Structure 1
Amino acid sequence: MLEIRKCNLRSFALALCCALTATLAKADAPAGQELGALVFKLVANLNEATQATADGDLNQQRAAEQAVANQLRQLISQSPGDPAFRSRDHRWRTPLINAAMRGYADVVEALLSDEGVRQSINTQDGDGVSAWIAAQYARPLTLAACHPQDLTIEAIGLWGPYLQRLRYFALQTPLPFDRIRSALGAAGAKPELDKAKQLWLKQCPEHAPELEPLIEQSSDLMQTLLNDANQRLQGFFADPRKAPKSRQASPGIDSPTNTFPATDPVSDAQSSGAKHTCKNMPKPEWINNAGIPWTGRALFSIDFEVQDGAPVVARVTTLSAKPALPDAIAIEFRAMTLRALGAYRCTGDHLVRQEFEYRMTD
């Protein structure tokens, strides 16, 4: 019999983020706070709404994005220039940065209809990423370039939501990120290619060594990242049997480097951001593919990164095991844990640590 316990779910938000949130909670509500919260909620809700479903043509998903864009245009027409449209979340990102990062071209175009948003188009988040830089990363399409070591048999259950989102964006013509780059350029966004390269390399330290010189020489960072990610995904699915079963190393995920500005002309309607919680957290299901009998207790710590409301990469560390785990059984434990994470639905972008305790009895 397998007994599973999940415990110690907590966010890795930096102390500065927590201090900022606490300060905002105690202060008088700034003008436009309700409107700012609504704008962030509209964009955040698209994360789940644009997941691929039985709608093979993705019409439902496209309609959801267009509906949000229409709502934003209506709000802008009612409150033009309101600071809420350029407010900040807990990562210091504006709605424009979030929409550009997540590939919502309709939403980006709607937000740019506001004069205040256009005037603050070069605003950067806590990591120094502007909307223009975020668009170059095409994040929903290039995860394999950022984390190639996670293309393993063990982690395939975690990649389901990512592959669904990839399909939503990849099947659109023109590519949403091309539309976003064009819209930002037409609105006067400052192109910072060298900075975009430096930040991507810093945020993706596990990139393949052979990719770095290609990035340095690239005049189109997005296309370079797309080419690398596509090549790796095609290679993996062409013959999964040749793929590694698990990661060679399991380092912890570093907390994001946030350098919040002391003052900012557009931060007068800051948002405390989404709460760092996950819902729909199913328990892992045991499938002993290894066929090796084992009884005992094992405790694992999982550090996982949430992007756009879903876990995308994870590091599994064995904290203790009595008796010692055979390698094949350890892989099974990690694989079923990652399958469970693949079904999690969370809010926003953050880093989370969770512990799983497994007890196997006769």
Structure 2
Amino acid sequence: MPRLLNFLFPNGLRASTALLLGLLCCLSVAQAQAGRTPRQLIDHLGVDIRKILDDPKATKTPQEAERAVADQISALIARSPGHLSLTELDAQGRTPLMLAAGSGYALIVQALLSDPAVRLAINMPDEDGETAWMVANFAPTVTLVACQPGALTADRYALLPAYVRRMADLLKARPDPIVSIIRDLEAAGAEIQPEQAKRAWLARCHNAAPELREKLSRQDLLPSLIEDALARQREFNKTANEDARRIPMSPPADMKFVLDDKAQRPARREAPLLQIHEMRCDSMAKPDLSGTTIYWSGTIILKAVVATRAGVVETADFTVLKGSKEKRVTDFFRSIIVRALAKYRCDGDHVFEQEFQFDIR
């Protein structure tokens, strides 16, 4: 597995950026190429929406950005009904319909469902056994903190604003895009599998709180997830406003946010995590140590396993590969990396590895 980036800080804080600039140059050229497939359009839409929501002066709305992609997909269907790219599988066995349903793109789901081939494959499961209907009921773009309550900590706070902005945008939309997606899928022939959906969500959300797991044994999945996510987010915001010192500093030390494919899915093919040539990022910020102080010197290398969704880094796990494992040292550099990851804008729902090396003298 190649390292995506290697950040070096010799002589204090000077960074080597040649690899970063070269990578971003190549990515920019790749993204400029015309003729994107529906999956590529959906993947990049998350980045476009992230830019809009991050910019208070944006002249375009997320709904307008989504409509533009839906129109392109509709035009493809009009030109080439049943085109193979409409049901193309990604590395996880997901169709464009699954990706759109999981990202809350109601207009794109409508466009895709106008194609007979898409409707014929509507109940196809991905490699985890999840269908488009199941993923729509997970509503991952608005229920992250129900799935990963450990994200609501001071250690991970920098990753939250982009997610919260998208969550707020979706929940305020009328008609409700999540409900619209589920209704459209069912009208097009999607199998309604509530118990299978619960089991699939619990398998992917291994950090879910025990009380939510118990609640799901009695109540429907989607309303329970949204209710839990909103309650957790409100409580976190209230605590932050009243006394930020009461916010938990970090998740439990043994908590893993990103599932290990080999451990959790042994039947899957022996494929590495995302390769460097597949990465498409508009922005990959460098870790910034300016304005920070740590009374320590030496070399430390941390590996991050990072999960992205719709232009946002949602979660990450960290391992010290070399150097001090003293908690105050690893906490310090992990927080620096998290702040950098919060600025990443990467296409699609992916997991990738990246190593960060700091040399402090």
TM-score normalised according to structure 2 size: 0.80
Letter matched to residue 352 of structure 1: F
* Residue matched to 1:23: none
1:154-303 alignment runs, 5 A limit: 154-218=155-219, 220-240=220-240, 241=244, 242-252=246-256, 253-256=258-261, 257=265, 275-278=278-281, 280-286=283-289, 293-303=295-305
* 1:322-337 matched pairs, under 5 angstroms: 322=324, 325=326, 327-337=327-337
Do 1:7 and 1:355's aligned partners in 2 also have CA atoms closer than 8 Å? no
User: Where do residues 125-140 of structure 1 align in structure 2 (5 Å cutoff)?
Assistant: 125-140=126-141
Which residue identity is paired with 1:186? A
Residues 5 and 358 of structure 1 are in contact (CA less than 8 Å); yes or no, is this contact kept in structure 2? no
Aligned partner letter, 2:251:
R
- Greater shift after overlay, 169-178 or 81-90? 81-90
CA distance in 2, matches of 1:4, 1:255: 31
Determine helix, strand or coil for the equivalent of 1:194: helix
Identity %: 32
Q: Return the letter of the residue paired with 2:101.
A: A
In structure 1, the partner of 2:9 is: none
Structure 1 residue 307 and structure 2 residue 309: aligned?
yes
Unaligned runs of 5+ in 2: 1-11, 21-33, 270-276
Alpha-carbon contact 1:8-1:355 (below 8 Å) kept: no
In the aligned structure 2, how far is the partner of 1:216 from the partner of 1:56?
A: 45
Verify the 8 A CA contact 1:308 1:348 in the aligned structure 2: yes
Per-residue CA distance 1:277-305 (angstroms, 9 max, x = gap)? 5452221112566x653223222221221
Contact 1:275 / 1:347 at 8 angstroms: preserved in 2? no
Q: CA RMSD in A?
A: 2.9
Maintained 8 Å contact 1:255/1:351: no
Letter in 2 for 1:139: P
Change in Cα spacing, 1:141 to 1:259, as seen in structure 2 (3 Å) is farther
1:33-182 maps to which residues of 2 (within 5 A)?
A: 38-51=37-50, 52-55=53-56, 59-182=60-183
Determine helix, strand or coil for the equivalent of 1:224.
Answer: helix
> How many residues get paired?
321
Q: For 1:166 and 1:49, how far apart are their aligned partners in 2? A: 15
CA change 1:354–1:83 in 2 (3 A) is: closer
Cα distance, 1:334 vs structure 2: 1.3
TM-score scaled by structure 1? 0.80
- Confirm or deny: 8 A CA contact 1:5 1:357 kept in the other structure: no
Q: Distance in 2 between matches of 1:134 and 1:119?
A: 18
